[in-house]
Structure formats: structure tokens, C-alpha cells
């Protein structure tokens, strides 16, 4: 199942986060001044919002807390997830600066407007130095009941198992390495489960045992496998999100950088399964180290009030 509603956060204090850069090799410091960078990121965010709405995807566009400097608030999918059974999960973030992104007003808004059955709060696991960062860490294949997770400092395998058990799903834990042979910080830059296919940076899996493990999990899923290269991974080809419009037609969202990094033959493969929309977000990708998928928190909750 894919979402037709997403939540976005306007990046009112976007900037380079030194705390997260240690584990996110995709981040690059910007030559722009802080105000110029922030304004550029806001324009990119609003353009993505417009692109989604024009393609019949509902967008809940929220502001961050006004009194806190939150350079990564543009990536709300890390601190909470929503689920079709009415569950909201709050996650233990690795970086202290990112723990401040938790916004009770957003949770209150969702609880007021949607049917929320329970809220599972995992944030106390930070005291044990155990971290899990939402759909950055967890890629859900709800159809086949699999959770894919790339083990790293930000993705604790014990917490992955806890989520898997709660939803009665199997967990496929892997290790992905970047071109410097360091663990890749998030699963959702390496792998995306889409409508009838999966995009995977298979060559970045750390060892042959991991590759065999992944193939064993994919056997029987009937998903077409589209492999991406290290260069394509670096250009956020794995950081894409399958959505659906109000007619339940599949719509795949990605950045323009990712779109142009796919081979024409791969685009043809993808378009057999879904339409594609893309938006240019160069400053958010470069300075924040995350792409379109990271900017979108899926809302799977059932609305209380139908228009």
C-alpha cells in the first residue's frame, strides 16, 4: 500500500548540520550565506509541494517550531511514522540537534484530524545509545510483510526487530558501504520498494552473504529488480518514494538530479509500473544530505472528517 497524503516541513532554519555530517557522507557545506541558503531551500520545498499537489498528491505543509534552530527539520520522515492500523511511532534520533525536531503540535494535529489508535514512543532508547530514524532507517514492504534496514549507528538492529515484531513482519538487515567503505547512514538512500519493482544499490552491500540474503528475501515477491550504481546512489536514485493519487494511480516522486541520473532504459523500466514526477532540490540534497524521499512523511492514517 502506498500513501496518497504526505506531510512536509517548511525549512525555516535549514542549514549545514555539523552533528549529522559525521555519519552522513552525502552532506556538503554550502558556499552560500545562511540566509541565502535558507531562502533557497524554502523555494525548493515549496516547489516540491506544488509539484505534488499538481499531480493529485495531498500535502500537509507544516511549519517547524519558530523558536528553535532545526537545520534538518525539512526531513520529518525520520522522527515519526504513521501506519494503517492507526499507530504513530516516535523515534530515537541519533543527533541531539535532531531530537529537537519532535513537535507535539504536529502529533496533536494528526490525532485531531485522523483516527489514531496508539502512539508508540521509542525516544527513551537514546539513553541506551540505541537509535532508529523512521523511514530513513526502515523501508517497509507492506505487501510482502518485509522491513528492509541498513545497519548503522542510526539504525539499531534490536529496534528494527522490535518494529518488525509489532507489525508481524520479517526484517531483512543488511550493511551498505559507500565509496569510502563506510556504512551508509540510511536505508532509504540505498533501497526503495515501489509499485511492482524495487530499486536497490546491490553492489554497495558489504558482502556476498548480504547479497544472497537480499535475493532470498526478494524471491517470490514478484518485484522487478532495478539495480543502481554507486554514482546513481550518490545522486539519490535510491531516495525515491512511491505514492498514489486519489484515483489510486501510482506516482513515483524523485529529485530532478535523480531523474537525470537514471539510464533511459531504467526510466522505461520504471514507467512500465508508475508515472514519474521530479523536482529540483539541489541545495537541500547537497547541504542536507537527503533527497525527495527524506522530505516526505507518509500519512497512512484514516481521516476522521471527509471533505
Query: Cβ(183)–Cβ(153) under 8 Å?
Result: yes
pLDDT score for 1: 83
Query: Has residue 303 been placed in a domain?
Result: no
Q: Given this model, what pLDDT does residue 123 score?
A: 98
Residue 152 lies in a domain: yes
Q: For cell 490525532, name the residue.
A: 111
Whose cell is 520479517? That residue is 170
Q: What is the pLDDT along the chain (307 residues), one digit of tens a residue?
A: 899 999 999 999 876 666 665 666 665 776 777 788 889 999 999 999 999 999 999 999 999 877 788 989 999 999 999 999 999 999 999 999 999 999 999 999 999 999 999 999 999 999 999 999 999 999 999 999 999 999 999 999 999 999 999 999 999 999 999 988 899 989 999 999 999 999 999 999 999 999 999 999 999 899 999 999 999 999 999 999 999 999 999 999 999 999 999 999 999 999 999 999 999 999 999 988 889 999 999 999 999 876 5
Q: Which of 122, 104, 120 is nearest to 112 (CA)?
A: 104
| Confidence at residue 100, expressed as pLDDT on a 0 to 100 scale | 93
Q: Which residues pair with 81 in a beta bridge?
A: 89
Q: Return d(Cα 256, Cα 226) in angstroms, integer.
A: 18
Q: What is the mean pLDDT of the chain?
A: 93
Tell me, what's the pLDDT at 307? 54
Tell me, what CATH number does 51's domain have? 3.75.10.10
Long-range contacts made by residues 111-117, C-beta under 8 angstroms, separation at least 24?
112/304, 113/303, 113/304, 113/305, 114/82, 114/299, 114/301, 114/302, 114/303, 114/304, 115/86, 115/301, 115/302, 115/303, 115/304, 116/86, 116/87, 116/88, 116/301, 117/85, 117/86, 117/87
What pLDDT does 21 receive? 54
* Domain span including residue 123: 5-298
Count of domains forming the chain: 1
Residue 307 lies in a domain: no
In a domain, 306, yes or no: no
Determine, yes or no, domain membership for 183. yes
Amino acid at each position: 500500500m502506498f500513501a496518497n497524503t504526505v506531510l512536509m516541513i517548511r525549512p525555516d532554519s535549514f542549514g549545514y548540520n555539523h552533528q549529522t555530517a559525521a555519519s552522513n557522507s552525502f552532506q556538503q557545506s554550502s558556499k552560500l550565506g545562511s540566509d541565502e541558503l535558507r531562502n533557497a531551500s524554502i523555494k525548493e520545498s515549496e516547489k516540491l509541494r506544488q509539484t505534488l499537489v499538481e499531480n493529485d498528491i495531498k500535502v500537509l505543509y507544516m511549519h517547524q517550531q519558530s523558536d528553535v534552530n532545526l537545520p534538518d527539520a525539512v526531513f520529518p520522515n525520520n522522527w515519526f511514522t504513521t501506519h494503517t492500523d492507526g499507530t504513530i511511532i516516535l523515534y530515537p534520533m541519533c543527533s541531539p540537534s535532531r531530537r529537537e525536531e519532535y513537535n507535539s503540535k504536529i502529533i496533536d494535529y494528526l490525532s485531531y484530524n485522523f483516527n489514531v489508535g496508539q502512539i508508540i514512543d521509542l525516544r527513551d532508547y537514546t539513553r541506551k545509545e540505541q537509535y532508529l530514524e523512521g523511514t530513513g532507517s526502515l523501508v517497509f514492504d507492506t505487501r510482502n510483510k518485509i522491513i528492509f534496514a541498513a545497519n548503522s549507528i542510526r539504525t539499531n538492529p534490536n529496534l528494527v526487530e522490535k518494529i518488525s515484531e509489532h507489525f508481524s513482519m520479517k526484517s531483512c538487515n543488511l550493511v551498505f558501504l559507500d565509496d569510502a567503505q563506510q556504512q551508509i547512514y540510511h536505508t532509504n538512500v540505498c533501497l526503495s520498494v515501489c509499485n511492482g519493482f524495487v530499486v536497490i544499490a546491490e553492489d554497495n552491500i558489504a558482502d556476498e552473504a548480504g547479497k544472497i540474503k537480499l535475493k532470498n528475501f526478494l524471491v517470490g515477491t514478484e518485484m522487478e529488480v532495478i539495480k543502481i550504481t554507486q554514482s546513481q546512489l550518490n545522486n539519490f536514485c535510491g531516495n525515491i518514494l512511491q505514492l498514489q493519487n486519489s484515483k489510486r494511480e501510482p506516482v513515483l516522486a524523485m529529485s530532478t538530479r535523480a531523474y537525470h541520473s537514471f539510464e533511459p532504459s531504467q526510466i522505461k523500466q520504471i514507467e512500465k509500473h508508475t508515472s514519474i514526477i521530479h523536482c529540483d532540490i539541489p541545495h537541500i540534497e547537497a547541504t542536507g544530505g537527503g533527497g525527495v524521499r527524506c522530505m516526505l512523511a507518509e500519512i497512512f492514517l484514516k481521516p476522521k472528517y471527509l471533505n
